[in-house]
């Protein structure tokens, strides 16, 4: 009997020792896991604090529960101003997009590298790239969103600079030759599909070389800039100016209702460009010559339409400069059409008359 109790006590003792040792083992393991978890949390906290990307966490209703220092610096609000309040950085025009993205997140999907312009506290806009992930509770239900925002304003400025170099003249800011060919092709395609007409004007600054040679290239460059400014001030919304090189320019006028519309525009351009210039203590006058071709009657291809406008420009120069000329075809190079059209509308300026 006593032997039985002895063995029973020994077994209990052994079980207690084993339980104690297992408890110590699992406690140490738990302590190591907790230490590792604490270290990870500290690392994440350090990353969140010191990263240059803005980080914010919101509820599914868009109420802010966390922002990091980079968010404060990027957008201008302080933490105390925002926590517990709706996220204020989404502009009104993006609210519909915001709702669609919210539905995507609620479905458990992430949004990566979405680009847009967000509001800062001072009312300015900031170009950003945003990645947003859904957050889940213990049951797997989405209960919030975590967003990382990166400032890409420098990237956007660089991209814009590349576009400007590719499609705009760096001196005058007008569209360049590459842009001209693209726009001309698009205008011809639209006109062909919709049975429309449009006009192509070729023009240059009369005796520009004399200004360059006698007054210097700085004056010549400034003349070109002001030349463009005067032209653009005269153009309707349906017209685009292009600098093709040197003092050579082109204008595409779409939504053309009549030849008289082009005549009136040409007269305004001639009048504006013969007004005296004052540049760097130099006062002088220049004029402009304009050649005009019409689509589709003067050419159904880019080459034919450009050739017709170029030919009409030389007719204007041969006529004495400070003139416009419509392309009149091989058999009517005097371009009487322009003069007759001016007489019909009673303009009285005589810009279509070769006497000028």
**Cα 310 from Cα 290, distance rounded (Å):** 9
Element (H, E) at 288: strand 288-295
Of 263, 253, 269, the residue nearest 343 (C-alpha): 263
Q: Which fold has domain 50-162?
A: Beta-Lactamase (3.30.450)
Write phi, then psi, for 34 (nearest 5 degrees): -65, -40
**Cα 349 from Cα 347, distance rounded (Å):** 6
Lateral strand order in the sheet of 64-67: 64-67, 54-58, 142-151, 125-136, 111-119
CATH code at 168-345 = 3.30.70.270
**pLDDT, position 355:** 31
> Angle 259-273/336-345 helices, nearest 10 degrees?
90
**pLDDT, position 338:** 40
Per-position pLDDT tens, the chain of length 356: 555 566 666 677 677 766 766 676 767 666 666 655 555 555 545 565 668 899 999 999 999 999 999 999 999 999 999 999 999 999 989 889 888 999 999 999 999 999 999 999 999 999 999 999 999 988 889 999 999 999 999 999 999 888 888 999 999 999 999 999 999 999 999 999 999 999 999 999 998 989 988 999 999 999 999 999 999 999 999 999 999 999 999 999 998 888 999 999 999 999 999 999 999 989 999 999 999 999 999 999 999 999 999 999 999 999 999 999 999 875 444 434 444 444 443 333 334 433 33
Which residue has tokens 């980080």?
55
Map out the domains of the chain as residue ranges: 50-162, 168-345
């Amino acid at each position: 009997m006593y032997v039985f109790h002895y063995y029973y006590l020994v077994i209990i003792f052994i079980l207690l020792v084993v339980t104690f040792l297992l408890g110590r083992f699992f406690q140490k393991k738990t302590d190591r896991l907790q230490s590792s978890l604490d270290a990870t949390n500290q690392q994440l906290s350090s990353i969140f604090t010191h990263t240059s990307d803005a980080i914010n966490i919101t509820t599914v209703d868009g109420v802010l529960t966390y922002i990091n220092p980079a968010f404060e610096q990027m957008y201008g609000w302080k933490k105390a101003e925002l926590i517990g309040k709706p996220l204020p950085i989404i502009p009104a025009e993006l609210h519909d997009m915001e709702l669609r993205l919210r539905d995507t997140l609620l479905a458990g999907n992430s949004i990566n590298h979405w680009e847009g312009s967000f509001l800062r506290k001072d009312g300015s806009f900031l170009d950003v790239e945003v990645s947003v992930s859904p957050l889940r509770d213990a049951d797997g239900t989405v209960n919030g969103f975590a967003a990382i925002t990166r400032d890409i304003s420098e990237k956007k400025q660089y991209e814009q600079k590349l576009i400007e170099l590719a499609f705009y003249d760096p001196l005058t800011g007008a569209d360049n030759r590459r842009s001209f060919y693209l726009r001309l092709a698009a205008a011809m395609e639209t006109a062909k599909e919709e049975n429309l007409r449009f006009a192509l004007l070729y023009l240059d600054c009369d005796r520009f070389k004399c200004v360059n040679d006698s007054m210097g290239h700085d004056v010549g460059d400034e003349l070109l800039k002001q030349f463009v400014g005067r032209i653009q001030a005269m153009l309707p919304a349906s017209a685009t100016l292009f600098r093709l090189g040197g003092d050579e320019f082109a204008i595409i006028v779409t939504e053309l209702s009549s030849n008289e519309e082009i005549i009136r525009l040409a007269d305004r351009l001639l009048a504006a460009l013969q007004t005296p210039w004052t540049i760097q203590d130099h006062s002088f006058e220049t004029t402009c010559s304009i050649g005009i071709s019409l689509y589709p009657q003067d050419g159904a291809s880019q080459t034919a339409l450009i050739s017709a406008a170029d030919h009409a420009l030389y007719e204007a120069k041969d006529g004495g400069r400070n003139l416009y000329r419509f392309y009149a075809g091989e058999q009517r190079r005097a371009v009487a059409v322009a003069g007759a059209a001016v007489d019909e509308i009673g303009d009285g300026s005589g810009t279509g008359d070769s006497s000028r």
